[in-house]
Amino acid sequence: MNRKYFAAAAAILAVAFAVLWVAYGLNYGARQTFSLAEAHARIPEKTVYLTFDDGPSDRITPKILDVLDSENVKATFFIVGRQAERRGYLIRREAESGHTVAVHSYTHEYKDIYSSPRALLADIDRCNDVIEKYTGRRAAVYRFPGGSYGLSAKLVAAVRAHGMKYVDWNASLCDAEPGMSGAEKLFKNAVSSSAGKDNIVLLSHDSTSKTSTPEATRRIIQYYKQNGYSFGTF
């Protein structure tokens, strides 16, 4: 085999790898990988998926919903069931406003839910019972607390076999990190962690202490609109 053959073969492999990289979301530039292909067979170009974990909370979730309403943007809320049990009106509002209400956990206690596949699925079902009670439907989308990266294959396989599609992230406000406060700082985190990406799954939180997240979300939405992105949900 000559050098031209090897060069052509290498080029073909490079193109094939690039296609797989985009199609399956294998982007390690942020804290976690994300699995867009788990939730969507087709990915529109330049799309942002705003996602909010750990809510709902009386203090923050309504403010985020107000921002989304004013900007006419939909998002995905990965809820904690025991939080939602006391705030069913908020996940009802999320659903009625056209947002996706998805499962994050019932307890968010890692040592309990990750102790076995059975424990994990029981936690998912308990959270989904709350979602169904207040929205009239069960969720089919899940986010592992802490993300799926590094979890055992048995846990991930159990979620798939349970009929759930899971979504991680490839960009973040870092609003759950120590010392991260202020809308300007969170906005810069989102922009820098998503730089160069056409398909962005942006991690943020609507738990009670995330006081800077609503205003940061407004700025983030306006930034992506100005840069030609559309917005999607799972």
CB–CB of 50/58 below 8 Å?
A: no
**Is 53 one of the annotated active-site residues of the chain?**
yes
167 phi and psi, to 5 degrees? -135, 130
Q: In 5-46, where do the E strands start and end?
A: none
Identified catalytic residue from 54, 123, 205, 206: 205
3-state helix, strand, coil in the chain (%, to 5): 45, 15, 40
DSSP 6-33: HHHHHHHHHHHHHHHHHHTT---SSSS-
Residues in Cβ contact with 69 at an 8 Å cutoff, skipping those fewer than 6 apart: 97
The CA distance from 23 to 18, in Å, is: 9
The CA distance from 40 to 224, in Å, is: 21
Please compute Rg for the chain using Cα positions: 19
**Is 99 one of the annotated active-site residues of the chain?**
no
Identified catalytic residue from 40, 53, 108, 162: 53
The CA distance from 20 to 24, in Å, is: 6
185 phi and psi, to 5 degrees? -65, -45
The CA distance from 54 to 47, in Å, is: 23
The CA distance from 86 to 69, in Å, is: 23
What residues are labeled active site?
Answer: 53, 205
